[in-house]
Structure 1
Amino acid sequence: MKVLVTGASGRLGRAVRRRLESRSGVEAVFLRHYTDGSRGDDAFAFDMTDMPRLHSVVSTARPDVIIHLASITGLACDNDPQLANAINVEVTIALAGIAAELGTERIVFTSTAAVYGDGYREPIHEGTPLRGASSYASTKQLAERGLVKCVETSANLSAVVLRIFNLYGDDFTDSVVQKLLTSTPDQPVRIHGLDRFVRDYVHVDDVVDAIMACVDAELTARHQVINIGTGVPTSNRALLERLGERRELYFDLVGEERESYSCADITRAADILDFAPRLRL
């Protein structure tokens, strides 16, 4: 099997790359977007918004499966909305079109729980209406819609969309988990309330497990959306208590208690991917 990975030099991409390189029977091609001349590693680097070049690179690789991780995330989407739309939306749709043209069997796309928004009181299932308000969420929603159209007009292509909840791990320095574990008296973490701010924290190793399972899972539909989290709602208070058992934490409670809830219903992930995340916090 030949697998092509975009975003292979990112935090999640590096973890996926390590897993693929240890998997027998897989030939992997690693790509990353770059325009500044700083290659950094041996992943094949080029401007992925150059559509003729993108087509040429993917056509040369002729993968059986594409794992599309390349993305502009968070506040970077607000800072450069044009690039965010190009990478998150246009490249995703172009890749799916190229995949359909080449006879690629499957594209695995990493989306985000941000597409749901956060005004809930119980775990969110995949049929929940999308009401994400951020620029990042908007680009991912557009990309998801584009994938649906590509699959509908293709004879053989299947697509798996993974809506990933709050991802953390040693390399994810912008996650609240890692910020707390590296906090200092001079750099405390800002915490918005203790009991009513709730998130689903999923470790990078579990996310990689899910991505690997998507490569050859039997799908119940040619287009499949799957939540990836732990299914365990964790309040800020619980998070502080658990991480505080490892080391002293430094944080400031700011503003009024904020009600915000985001947690995954992972029933579908368990059924389709045999997904069983470890509770690591």
Structure 2
Amino acid sequence: MRVLVTGGAGYVGSVVAAQLVAAGHEVVVLDNLSTGHRDAVPPECVFVRGDIRDRAAEVLSDGVEAVLHFAAKSIVPESVARPEMYWSGNVGASLALLEAMRATGVRRIVFSSTAAVYGEPERVPIPEDAPVRPTNPYGATKAAIDAALTEHARMHGIGAVSLRYFNVAGAQDGRGERHTTETHLIPIVLQVALGRREAVSVFGTDYGTPDGTCVRDYIHVADLAEAHLLALDHCTPGRHRVYNLGNGTGFSVREVVEVCREVTGHPIPVVEDGRRPGDPAALVASGRRARDELGWLPRRPGLAAIVADAWKFHSAAAGAGPAAAHAGGGA
């Protein structure tokens, strides 16, 4: 199958592109490289540099049968500071992509959504039928795109699958996280181990969790990518399905730091700080629907293995420069 991967020069998109190639698909990557990296794109892929609004119809008309849509802005604080950029870059571009799909007759799409659509959950683990009430513009834009997919399935007969990620980490085949502004916990902790930060800040130690710090669900990027290939085969015309992707097990901030200490052999100092507004005590996915309908289960659920792969990537990049490792795009 010939597939289009938007944002395929980014972290998750590049790993998915590599797995698609390994599975025998023809892959076209569309990315404007605003946050992605050209060296993250597998060499077997056709690479098109450009924006979705300008290039999607052209690329789709060249025999593409399905789309995997990763291109998006994804920094929560930035979305709060510049919501207009997120509504235009995420929702506007996605609507343009859907219109290009309608015009060219492409009827399958797998969308990179997020657990941020749930906001402060009523219960944990979080099922897919939990109320959608995002607490920031980033989550709100993803929820809006999910709604648009439901309408396009109803009106135009597309088959759509939204995959709502929780916390993605790790690396595969030299492809890992490499952000200009890092906001994710595991890479931040590893930056301390590499000497790029003096300490890691722990925001809030008085939550109603076993050790008082926030609990999050971490999933290996390779497991996440495998779910996308399964979802591609479950795009049913006229139907939009949503799946939560997570381990189903939560790890606290203190647990993450301790595992990073064990994996790296570095002490990793911690500075305790107050809670950040809007941080839920626990975000853990219920993966029952993905298991039952997609046949998907994480094959690398251990936190130590996730951290070890991330550490291998980050330490290699630090030792030999950015060109030594692939990384994470937007289109």
Return the TM-score normalized by structure 2: 0.75
Match of 1:212 in 2: 229
> SS of the counterpart of 1:111?
strand
Equivalent residues, number: 275
> What is the RMSD of the two structures over their aligned residues, measured on CA atoms?
2.6
Q: 1:35 to 1:232 in 2, by over 3 A?
A: closer
Q: CA deviation at 1:259?
A: 5.8
Match of 1:72 in 2: 73
How big is each residue's C-alpha offset from its partner over 1:247-267, in whole Å with a ceiling of 9 and x where there is no partner?
A: 332221112697611110000
Q: CA deviation at 1:85?
A: 1.6
The percent identity for this pair of structures is 31
Q: 1:49 to 1:177 in 2, by over 3 A?
A: same
How big is each residue's C-alpha offset from its partner over 1:11-32, in whole Å with a ceiling of 9 and x where there is no partner?
A: 11211121122222x1111101
Match of 2:186 in 1: 177
Q: Distance in 2 between matches of 1:259 and 1:267?
A: 22
The 5 Å alignment of 1:47-196 reads 47-50=51-54, 53-59=55-61, 61-74=62-75, 75-155=77-157, 157-170=158-171, 171-172=176-177, 174=182, 175-184=184-193, 186-192=197-203, 193=205, 194-196=211-213
Match of 1:251 in 2: 270
Q: 1:151 to 1:121 in 2, by over 3 A?
A: closer
How big is each residue's C-alpha offset from its partner over 1:163-219, in whole Å with a ceiling of 9 and x where there is no partner?
A: 000111242253211221331475211112243411101111111011111111375
Return the TM-score normalized by structure 1: 0.88
Q: Distance in 2 between matches of 1:112 and 1:126?
A: 11
Give 5+ residue unaligned stretches, structure 2.
40-45, 206-210, 304-331
Q: Distance in 2 between matches of 1:45 and 1:263?
A: 36
Match of 1:241 in 2: 258
2:280 pairs with 1:271: no
How big is each residue's C-alpha offset from its partner over 1:225-254, in whole Å with a ceiling of 9 and x where there is no partner?
A: 000111111122332333332233222111
2:284 pairs with 1:280: no
2:201 pairs with 1:201: no
Report if aligned partners of 2:112, 2:164 keep a CA contact under 8 Å in 1: yes
> SS of the counterpart of 1:49?
helix
> SS of the counterpart of 2:271?
strand
Give 5+ residue unaligned stretches, structure 1.
none
Higher relative contact order (CA 8 A, sep 6+): 2
Report if aligned partners of 1:34, 1:47 keep a CA contact under 8 Å in 2: no
Match of 2:20 in 1: 20
